[in-house]
């Protein structure tokens, strides 16, 4: 499939999802022009704040390919993404993101993620979400064990 066809599929998924009670987001993951997986936004339908279209597509692609490394794949998505999606895209190592709408388009219909990006730029103590470090000395054991592990799979 061409890039245009793959993007049209992502757009079609988002339109179908709106018609089926979901949010206006769809994503397609492709490798060499072939669809590996798709995803739609099911945040409210599944009561899952992480069920964004891109995250759902990444989960499906990783399962279909049997790997967490999607570096030979590209993602086609309706809109340049929320921080949760962008983080997942980086962790999955997708080689390229194609998007149809930008963050201003999303903001104009009530999907504004700028507050999260603003929060991330602040020092921890200046953020609206309170956080507290605790039990570091006990928790560091898992990191030490990982560092010493000979058969670990890096990710």
Residues belonging to the active site: 54
What distance in Å separates the CA atoms of residue 52 and residue 83, rounded to the nearest whole number?
11
What distance in Å separates the CA atoms of residue 144 and residue 105, rounded to the nearest whole number?
45
CA dihedral over 47, 100, 67, 143, signed as positive or negative? negative
What distance in Å separates the CA atoms of residue 59 and residue 55, rounded to the nearest whole number?
6
- Using the structure block, give the residue that is written with the tokens 């490798």: 31
**CA 107 vs CA 11, 14, 18, 72, 103: distances in Å:** 18, 17, 17, 31, 6
């Amino acid at each position: 499939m061409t890039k245009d066809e793959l993007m049209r599929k992502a757009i079609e998924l988002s339109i179908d999802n709106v018609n089926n009670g979901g949010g206006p987001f769809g994503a397609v993951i492709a490798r060499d022009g072939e669809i590996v997986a798709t995803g739609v936004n099911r945040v409210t339908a599944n009561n899952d704040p992480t069920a964004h279209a891109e995250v759902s597509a990444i989960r499906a692609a990783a399962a279909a390919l049997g790997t967490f490394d999607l570096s030979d794949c590209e993602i086609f998505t309706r809109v340049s993404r929320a921080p949760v999606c962008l983080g997942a895209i980086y962790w999955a190592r997708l080689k390229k993101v194609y998007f149809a709408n930008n963050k201003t388009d999303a903001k104009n219909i009530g999907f504004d993620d700028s507050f999260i990006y603003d929060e991330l730029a602040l020092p921890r103590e200046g953020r609206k979400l309170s956080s507290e470090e605790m039990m570091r000395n006990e928790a560091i054991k898992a990191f030490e064990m990982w560092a010493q592990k000979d058969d670990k799979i890096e990710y």
